[in-house]
Amino acid sequence: MIVHWPYLVLALAMLWFPRQWMRLGKLWRKSRKQRETMERFAQDGANDPDDKSVRLRRELRNKRNYLDALRGLAGTMALWEFSFEAGPERELLVFGLCAAITFAAVLIQSIRWRERITFFAAIFFYAGVSGGLGSYYPGALAFLLVCAINPVIPTPRLFVSAYALLLLPFNFFLGDDSRIALFNTVVLLVPVIWSMMVKRPMVIFTRRRNLMW
């Protein structure tokens, strides 16, 4: 088995870099009253504080989300397509290594530690990773479909669940590897199931000025 280290290092840098680190410089320059806080998603213009659904239009205006999708796509492609080269006898080992690195990446982007564990619904990063696994079309089509039905999805956790489950038939029919199709769905369901087990919601983080805990 040959390891192409430049591609592997590039993949690890893009996949394992926590999203919240992008804001460290800004956070140091901001007052404590302007720190990052959690906001439950609701439809744009909604006034109901109990509405926890995804504000998709607002997220589409967030440039960091596109960066998340891009690094998820590029990092996954660099990892799965270019980082390792092996014969048929080492194919299972390569799959296991790539799967382990991708699994770690999903957990790194999904879990944050503050006073206690918090689960972040990194929906754009998930979409990028899914696009880099095998064919681009299954991930893109599944994401478009879940966005279309988003108005009836009440929480970010259900948004991620719907996306992961929609990936399965799209990957099976439009992809070229059933193992990757199954892995793609399972790896995205892990943070969902974990959050349910510890009874913590999956949330979206945003920065609100003059808002304190």
Whether residue 107 is contained in a domain is answered as no
Whether residue 124 is contained in a domain is answered as yes
Whether residue 16 is contained in a domain is answered as no
Whether residue 82 is contained in a domain is answered as no
Cβ contact 133:183 at 8 Å: yes
Question: Is the pLDDT assigned to residue 70 strictly greater than 90?
Answer: yes
Q: What is the pTM of this model?
A: 0.84
Whether residue 79 is contained in a domain is answered as no
Q: Quick one: how far is CA 64 from the chain centroid? A: 12
Whether residue 159 is contained in a domain is answered as yes
Whether residue 143 is contained in a domain is answered as yes
Q: How many CB atoms lie within 10 A of CB 108?
A: 16
* Residue 6 tokens, joined: 């430049």
Per-residue pLDDT tens for 116-159? 899 999 999 999 999 999 778 899 999 999 999 999 999 999 99
Tracing tokens 């619904």 back to the chain, one arrives at 121
Residues 6 or more apart whose CB falls under 8 angstroms from that of 5 comprise none
| Number of domains present in the structure of the chain | 1
Where b means 16+ CB within 10 Å and e means fewer, 188-212 reads: bbebbebbeeeeeebbbbbeeeeee
Can you give the residue range of the structural domain that contains 177?
24-72+113-207
Query: For residue 172, what pLDDT is reported?
Result: 86
Whether residue 147 is contained in a domain is answered as yes
CA count, 13 A, side-chain hemisphere, 173:
7
Per-residue pLDDT tens for 9-38? 999 999 999 987 765 544 444 444 444 444
